[in-house]
Amino acid sequence: MTILAAFGMIVLLVDLALKRAQKPLTAWLSLVGFGAAGVASLAIMEQRGSGFGGMIALDPYAQVLGLVAILAGALTVLTSFHYVRDRGIGRSEYYALLLFSVSGMVMMAAAHNLIVVFIALELLSIPLYVLTGFARPNVESEEAAIKYFLLGAFASGFLLFGIALMYGASGTTDLERIAQGIAQTGASPLALIGAGLILVGLGFKVAAVPFHMWTPDVYEGAPTPITGFMSVGAKAAGFAALLRVFVSSLGGIQADWVTLVAILSALTMIVGNIVAVSQTNLKRMLAYSSIAHAGYLLMGVAAANRAGVAGALFYLVAYAFTNIGAFAVLSTMARPSGEDQTFKTYRGLYRRSPALAVMMMIFMLSLTGIPLTGGFIGKYYLFLSAVEANLIWLAVIGVLTSVVSAFFYLRVIVDMFMREAEPQAEVEPVSYRPLNFTVNLSAAAVVILGVVPMAVLTLVTTAAQLLVG
Amino acid sequence: MTQSPLPLITIVTFLPLVGALFMLFQRRDDTATLKRTALIVSAITFGVSLLFVVRVGPIGGFDLAQPGFQYYERYDWIPAFNIGYEVGIDGISLLLVLLTTFLSPLAILSSFEAIKDRVKEYYIFMLILESGMLGVFISLDLFLFYVFWEVTLVPMYFLVGIWGGGRRVYAAIKFFLYTMAGSILMLLAILWLGINGGSFSLPTLLQNNSWLAGAPEMALFIAFAAAFAIKVPLWPFHSWLPDAHVEAPTAGSVILAGVLLKMGTYGFLRFNLALFPNASREAAPVIAVLAIIGIIYGAIVSFAQTDVKKLVAYSSVSHLGFVMLGIFAFTPQGLQGALLQMINHGLSTGALFLMIGFLYERRHTREMEQFGGLWKIVPVYGTLMLIVSLSSMGLPGLNGFVGEFTILLGTWAANPVWAAVAATGVILAAVYILTMFVKMFMGESRNEENLHLVDLTQRELWVIVPIVIFIFVIGLYPNPFFQTMTASVSALLQPLGGSVAIAP
């Protein structure tokens, strides 16, 4: 409880301040906000409790996911700093919206009531719609925003309808009481339909197939730092709710929904990875890759065991660093005059900027799931959960699609290291300190998570115990 | 399991990696220092690794009577998953570790002239690769093994992809995807073992193998075999090999043929046979037949090549077929022969690739049609090439013969028909090797340019002569090599019930 209140106030204060302050200052102020929220969240990591009449849970699970969102927000501020300035879109609202969106994500992580899930979803989404369209003179950005908004609103409707049906079936929107009711009476058809609609609504947020249609266009159109933020934060928040609702509340009737989620997971992995193969634009490729990663995460939901939850949490942490880092690299290659994110742009990057290319290589290897990166441990944990839950066929699809994914992640490495740039197409990456800091920090974190993952593993295991006792 | 006063394995395994990290801070344009550092680091690694067999004071030495793991070390790594850094070597891995530390400095030395672009990165990758390969042979924890297994992929991928020939990118990606496709299935099987066997530690799994009852043994066997069969490569999973070999730089080919392929056969020995004895017995006929097809297919395709490097690449398929056949004969001779042949192939084929590399650096072609009469022009080169070729062919007195003969002996005990069919591979090897030699070294030169060839330089002799010495040593006096493995091999064969004599 305390954390959320504190966090909300920080957001508001910062927001107030930045209206008046100098423009660069607002970014730093928002960073302070993120920092304070992060520290507060770390401080109460071990505490447990609830607030607002049980609507908000205070537990390590909420803190871990909250921290992922806060981290994503903070790193995005660092990546955005020059990006928005160079494009003349560095208005203070940018950072305020970012803060609001993150507060929605933190709220989502702590939501213990379906109503709060819905409110949090709106709180995180609406700023994101605006942020997507922030590169205003840019038509693609506007198109992306409209598309995101329309489909997002549609998905919200699904979610709300699902919540209503769930309420009709169980007489409550409190997640724990839903679980108790199900334990006593079993699942009514009404509750199942409700659960299905909730799955659709949240599936849209995390970009699961077949609710993924918006992803490539929105990712491509949005300002690059925002794309990175969206791919991490929105996914973390979506899975926060998915895991809480399905694993914790509906865990009693896992048999009824496991096949559906498993099929969704399989489809997401297959479609995401296979379509990514044929992309020529790096931003679009990463969009499909983000779809595919939603599939791996869904594996943890389907397994619905402790390893599944802990694995998904670890994966989200690793994925946050990896993707934010990767998009930060993309940001260095973007020009205010227009972005050319085709693979060609990256040819011979190693010659021009060895450090950047090596970092990007680390991110790509982590996304592929090569050992000694955080992505590998995360994937490993999720496969472990699937095998444990006897979903071996799903794990097999997971590993096979991983091989497919190696193809397009390697292509980035091939272009950076093994091909030479065409002279006229050479793009010199920009170099700003906050941006480089994000890239380096993310790469270091990815490697640390892969080599000495114990600290984070302990954290996510404690968090998972809450959901699966 | 015996421990040692010094963590010798860890030192040997990570020395190259430490060297690579050190090289990161060296100046990029001072290539002479870079080369020297890489060579010194790998040479020191070889020196230290000799302590495994040579006792100096209280350190080193190898207990021949001991079948279990020596120099055993174990530390917790990821306790949440019950994963430890657990390493040790026995008679099966000892020679492979030494082969790796022996070939690496030679491979590095051989690249001094050939690699001119991005020198720093090249040697860093070579050293990382060496650490990765050593890690594969010493790991006793399945998870750790998998980590090293995958880690070797990345530097090799770069070695082929950056410093390779014309189709290098294609070859590099193909290599990566093939290997990953196999190994990731193995990961699932490792997961299954970790969950149901309660541990990732190989010694623990072997000691307490109650999990084996009711396990989908064949499925697990296949999952592991998928990873290893692609690596070996067992026919029909070999198609990545010629591409990778032909495009790789010389040192890459040497390491690839010399050590990386052995990771596959080693995997079969260490994991498939030890963990799944019943499935191994059931699968043996199938694998033996695939191995025999590989022997003959590899030999015939070798014969059809015009590019000499391709010829050697395909001959690997044939040679590794022998190794696989020896392993799945389940007889002491078969296994020992297979192990020795792994070493032999590393030496002979490694040497062949080196020799071809030397020639390629001078003439920039590998088409056999372009040469002829080379013996007269470059006599030292010609003589050494003859020795190396004959060793690869299996001439008595040289190392290849000892290995192949022992394998065939062991296979005969298990199944005479297999042995008889496989023996034709030896004859075919004589055909393609001798044809190659005649085309390139006898008769008259078919190209003006050959007349200006210079003979081997001193550096090149330093690279090739140590290998040739071992070719003779193993060929004439193989006993010490067999002795190192006897105890471990018989321990391995026990649960397999000795020979699986399947009467024809």
Using pLDDT thresholds of 50, 70 and 90, give the confidence band for residue B497.
low
SS (H, E, C) B454-465: CCCCHHHHHHHH
Q: Which tokens in the block code for residue B477?
A: 């006096």
SS (H, E, C) chain A: CHHHHHHHHHHHHHHHHHHHCCHHHHHHHHHHHHHHHHHHHHHCCCCCEEECCCCEEECHHHHHHHHHHHHHHHHHHHHHHHHHHHCCCCCHHHHHHHHHHHHHHHHHHHECEHHHHHHHHHHHHHHHHHHHCCCCCCHHHHHHHHHHHHHHHHHHHHHHHHHHHHHHHHCCCEHHHHHHHHHHHCCCHHHHHHHHHHHHHHHHHHCCCCCCCCHHHHHHHCCHHHHHHHHHHHHHHHHHHHHHHHHHHCHHHHHHHHHHHHHHHHHHHHHHHHHHHCCCEHHHHHHHHHHHHHHHHHHHHHHCCHHHHHHHHHHHHHHHHHHHHHHHHHHHHCECCECCCEHHHHCCHHHHCHHHHHHHHHHHHHHHCCCCCHHHHHHHHHHHHHHHCCCHHHHHHHHHHHHHHHHHHHHHHHHHHHCCCCHHHCCCCCCCHHHHHHHHHHHHHHHHHHHCCHHHHHHHHHHHHHHCC
Shortest alpha-carbon distance between residue B289 and chain A (Å): 27
Alpha carbons within 13 A on the beta-carbon side of B151: 24
> Residue B87, SS3?
strand
Q: Could B169 and A418 be called an inter-chain contact, meaning their C-beta atoms sit closer than 8 Å?
A: yes
Mutation for testing the A interface, residue in B154, B162, B247 having most A CBs under 10 Å: B154
Give ∠ CA A113-A118-A122 in degrees, rounded to 5.
145
In a domain, B472, yes or no: yes
Under 8 Å between Cβ of A355 and A422: no
Model pLDDT for residues B88-118, shown as the tens digit of each residue: 888 888 889 999 999 999 999 888 888 888 8
Model pLDDT for residues A129-173, shown as the tens digit of each residue: 999 988 877 888 888 899 999 999 989 999 999 999 988 888 888
Q: How far apart are CA A331 and CA B132, in angstroms?
A: 34
Note the pLDDT of residue B499: 45
In a domain, B141, yes or no: no
Shortest alpha-carbon distance between residue B358 and chain A (Å): 24
Which regions in chain A score pLDDT beneath 50? 1
Q: Could A383 and B176 be called an inter-chain contact, meaning their C-beta atoms sit closer than 8 Å?
A: no
**Residue B502 predicted with pLDDT over 80:** no
Model pLDDT for residues B128-140, shown as the tens digit of each residue: 999 999 999 999 9
Q: Which chain B residues have a beta carbon less than 8 Å from that of A418? A: 161-162, 168-169, 172
Q: Could B78 and A372 be called an inter-chain contact, meaning their C-beta atoms sit closer than 8 Å?
A: no
- CB-based burial of residue B43 (10 Å sphere; 0-12 exposed, 13-18 middle, 19+ buried)? middle
Note the pLDDT of residue B3: 64
Angle of helix B31-49 versus helix B91-110 axis, rounded to 10: 160
Task: Give me the sign of the Cα torsion angle B12, B16, B19, B24.
Answer: negative
Q: How far apart are CA A404 and CA A391, in angstroms?
A: 20
Give ∠ CA A31-A32-A38 in degrees, rounded to 5.
90
Under 8 Å between Cβ of A160 and A189: no
Under 8 Å between Cβ of A377 and A317: no
Under 8 Å between Cβ of B168 and B220: no
**Residue B442 predicted with pLDDT over 70:** yes
- Find the length of chain B: 504
Mean pLDDT along residues B373-381: 83
Q: Could B78 and A453 be called an inter-chain contact, meaning their C-beta atoms sit closer than 8 Å?
A: yes
Q: Which tokens in the block code for residue A386?
A: 């699937």
- CB-based burial of residue B24 (10 Å sphere; 0-12 exposed, 13-18 middle, 19+ buried)? exposed
Higher-confidence residue of B501 and B190: namely B190
> Residue B185, SS3?
helix
Q: How far apart are CA A294 and CA A265, in angstroms?
A: 8
Q: Could B169 and A417 be called an inter-chain contact, meaning their C-beta atoms sit closer than 8 Å?
A: no
Q: DSSP class of residue B256?
A: I
At residue B397, what are phi and psi to the nearest 5 degrees?
100, -20
Would an 8 Å CB–CB cutoff place B24 in contact with chain A? no
Mean pLDDT along residues B65-73: 84
In a domain, B404, yes or no: yes
Under 8 Å between Cβ of B480 and B405: no
Query: Which amino acid makes up residue B93?
Result: S
For residues B73, B78, B83, B89, the Cα torsion angle rounded to the nearest 10 degrees is -20
Note the pLDDT of residue B105: 92
In a domain, B289, yes or no: yes
Model pLDDT for residues B472-496, shown as the tens digit of each residue: 898 889 888 888 888 888 888 877 7
Using pLDDT thresholds of 50, 70 and 90, give the confidence band for residue B224.
very high
Q: Could B162 and A399 be called an inter-chain contact, meaning their C-beta atoms sit closer than 8 Å?
A: no
In a domain, B360, yes or no: yes
For B90, left (φ over 0), alpha (ψ -120 to 50), or beta? beta
For residues B290, B293, B299, B302, the Cα torsion angle rounded to the nearest 10 degrees is -70
Interface predicted TM-score (ipTM) of this complex, two decimals: 0.87
Under 8 Å between Cβ of B194 and A423: no
Q: Could A461 and B80 be called an inter-chain contact, meaning their C-beta atoms sit closer than 8 Å?
A: yes
| Residues spanned by the domain of B332 | 276-504
Note the pLDDT of residue A360: 93
Query: Which amino acid makes up residue A426?
Result: E
In a domain, B495, yes or no: yes
Note the pLDDT of residue A1: 42
**Residue B284 predicted with pLDDT over 60:** yes
Higher-confidence residue of B278 and A10: namely B278
Q: How many domains would you assign to chain B? A: 1
Note the pLDDT of residue B203: 86
Shortest alpha-carbon distance between residue A291 and chain B (Å): 21
Closest partner CB to B78 (pick from A383, A403, A454): A454
Task: Give me the sign of the Cα torsion angle B464, B467, B471, B473.
Answer: positive
This prediction's pTM = 0.90
Mean pLDDT along residues B306-312: 88
- Percent of chain B's residues with pLDDT above 90: 22
> B residues 142-201 near A, CB within 8 Å?
146-147, 150-151, 153-154, 157-158, 161-162, 168-169, 172-173, 176-177, 180-181, 184-185, 187-188, 191-192, 194-195
Under 8 Å between Cβ of B314 and B341: no
In a domain, B380, yes or no: yes
B503: number of Cβ within 10 Å: 6
Q: Please report which helix (H) or strand (E) contains residue B208, including its range.
A: none
In a domain, B119, yes or no: no
**Residue B40 predicted with pLDDT over 70:** yes
List the single residue in A with minimal CA-CA distance to B189: A387
Q: Which chain A residues have a beta carbon less than 8 Å from that of B169? A: 414, 418-419
List the single residue in B with minimal CA-CA distance to A400: B181
Note the pLDDT of residue A162: 92
Q: How far apart are CA B119 and CA B365, in angstroms?
A: 23
